[in-house]
Amino acid sequence: MVMFFVVKLKDLFEKQRDYPWQKPDNCPCCNSQRLWGHGFAEAIFDGYDKPLLLKLYRCPDCGCVIRIRPKGYFKRFQARVETIRSSITLKSKSNRWLPGISRTRQGHWFRALKKRIKAYLTETWVKGVVAGFDYLLQLGQVPVSRSI
The footprint of Zn ion (CB under 5 A) covers 27, 29-30, 32, 59, 61-62, 64
Nearer to Zn ion (CB atom), residue 60 or residue 128 = 60
CB of 3 to Zn ion, least distance (A): 12
Closest Cα to residue 23, out of 63, 58, 61, 49? Answer: 58
Of 32 and 89, nearer to Zn ion (C-beta) is: 32
Sign of torsion over alpha carbons 78, 82, 88, 93: negative
Per DSSP, the three-state class of 3 is strand
Shortest Å distance, C-beta 29 to Zn ion: 4
- Region of 113 on the Ramachandran plot (φ > 0 left; ψ -120 to 50 alpha; else beta): alpha
Give me the least distance between CB of 58 and Zn ion, in Å please: 9
Identify the three-state secondary structure at position 69.
strand
Contact between residue 1 and residue 65 where contact means Cβ atoms under 8 Å apart: yes
Shortest Cβ distance from residue 11 to Zn ion (Å)?
28
In this complex, which beta carbon is closest to Zn ion, that of residue 65 or of residue 131? 65
Choose between 32 and 86: whose C-beta lies nearer to Zn ion.
32
